[in-house]
Amino acid sequence: MKYAIIADIHGNMPALKLVLEDARKQGADAFLFAGDYCVSAPWFNEVITCLRTMPDARIVRGNEERYLHLPDGEDAQFAISRWVGHSMSAEDIAWVDALPERLDWECEGVELHMTHNSNAFIGGAEMQTFGTGKMGLERYPGKITTEKLSADMREVFDQSEDFHQHLSELPAGIYVFGHTHCQWHAQFGDCLFINPGSCGMALDCCGFGAPYTLLTIQNGSYTVEERRVSYDVEELIEAVKQTEQYQVARVWSEVIFTEWRACRERMLFFLPHVEAYAQKIGDLRRPFMPDTWEAGFEDWLVNGQKP
Ligand SMILES: [Fe+2]
């Protein structure tokens, strides 16, 4: 069995299409989807339709799917999530809501487990040390390779008591998750951990493209191959600018563009900047209203720290 493992598509159908084509060329016969299908790029309806019609897929829900039910509001901060929720059919939303948070199954003598967030398996080990907010310039001043990232994870986890405590309680098997948007994999004892990175918005400093991971299982043993399908980031950005999302959520979209171009987290650094800006001008309205949101963005472009 050859699985293509795909996570964090975030509405980026052009990236998903390329990954599926590449995976099929590589001989993938089944697909694992580890959550976060919408918000950030505007083609979430196409993504959901694609997933719903795939006969050979196992799919878990992500955290972004929680934001499909936001109440109406005048704020700009959550305009994109509200727009996504309003733009999806009731049937698609019900399908997403019904997705399981965790799947456990067996394949050719190997136990597999999948959730969106690695917390369920290894506690905070990954998020606390390799969450995207921890991947700043001081740690990785330039582009790195997935091999370097996996090696660094191994080193950090090797020294983490918390990680080893969780590891000691895990049954042998393969553990699949997404959420950090960092592509890595590592074997510890009888456990293999795989995060395929984010198909739709890689934030792991490993360069633009659509990451995913192939897992081949045969007669109880397995191999892993990390792949990243390249495509044109400026073409993607121009396509987003032609959609309704860009009209409804220009600032959010522009911050996403900077993340795509840098392959680094920016939103987590943008939000505190807007908070500081709002406090400076004495605006206590939360979530942020359009005037402060727009002005805070312009201020961020000039004065923001962009690790
Ligand atoms: Fe995500």
Tell me, what's the pLDDT at 66? 83
Tell me, what's the pLDDT at 64? 85
Domain ranges of the chain: 2-229, 233-303
CA dihedral 147, 149, 155, 161 (to 10 degrees): -130
User: Cα(34) to centroid of ligand 1, in Å?
Assistant: 9
User: Cα(52) to centroid of ligand 1, in Å?
Assistant: 19
Specify the 3-state DSSP secondary structure of 2: strand
User: Cα(282) to centroid of ligand 1, in Å?
Assistant: 32
User: Cα(8) to centroid of ligand 1, in Å?
Assistant: 4
Tell me, what's the pLDDT at 306? 64
- pLDDT, averaged across the chain: 96
User: Cα(149) to centroid of ligand 1, in Å?
Assistant: 18
User: Cα(218) to centroid of ligand 1, in Å?
Assistant: 30
User: Cα(238) to centroid of ligand 1, in Å?
Assistant: 22
Helix (H) or strand (E) holding 8: none
Q: Are 15 and 206 in contact (CB under 8 A)?
A: no
Two structure tokens written together for 25: 């060329």
User: Cα(195) to centroid of ligand 1, in Å?
Assistant: 12
pLDDT at 307 over 60: no
User: Cα(219) to centroid of ligand 1, in Å?
Assistant: 33
Two structure tokens written together for 176: 């699949």
User: Cα(298) to centroid of ligand 1, in Å?
Assistant: 25
What are the pLDDT digits (tens) for 186-209?
A: 999 999 999 999 999 999 999 999
User: Cα(36) to centroid of ligand 1, in Å?
Assistant: 5
What are the pLDDT digits (tens) for 55-85?
A: 999 999 999 888 889 999 999 999 999 999 9
> What CATH architecture is 2-229?
4-Layer Sandwich (3.60)
Specify the 3-state DSSP secondary structure of 139: coil
DSSP state of 64: G
pTM for the model: 0.97
What are the pLDDT digits (tens) for 91-146?
A: 999 999 999 999 999 999 999 999 999 999 999 999 999 999 898 888 899 999 99
